[in-house]
Amino acid sequence: MNENRALSPMVKNFPIVCVGGSAGGLDAYIRLLQNLPADMGVAIVIVNHITDFPTQLHEVLPRFTTMPVDLITESLLIEPNHVFIIPENRDLHVLDESSV
């Protein structure tokens, strides 16, 4: 079942960088996070194409960055200098600051 998830900006005017991958994407995510500064002022959203089983990226990736890594849930506030992981079998919509 596809459910929509929404992120609401907490701080205005910062970029949101979306990174997608599939099988083999874990290595790319790790390399990316190991080489990004934790204070870039952007939010990073990781969208993994593998949807057959629950993601564990939010448990694995914190070992490779000092940025907080969160699994996206309903009404999660998007913040810069954080990594957000989309859950399996979900669509993601980023809404303006007035949306929940």
CATH of the domain at 26: 3.40.50.180
Quote the percentage of the chain above a pLDDT of 70.
Answer: 76
For 12-28, the pLDDT digits (tens) are 688 999 998 887 888 99
Res. 63: pLDDT tops 90: yes
For the entire predicted model, the pTM comes to: 0.79
Q: What is the total count of domains within the chain?
A: 1
Please give the residue range of the domain that contains residue 52: 3-94
Cα distance between residue 62 and residue 90, in whole Å: 22
- Letter string b/e over residues 58-82, b meaning 16 or more CB atoms within 10 A of that residue's CB: beebeebbebebbbbeeebebbbbb
Token pair listed for 46: 């990781």
- Residue 67 in any domain: the answer is yes
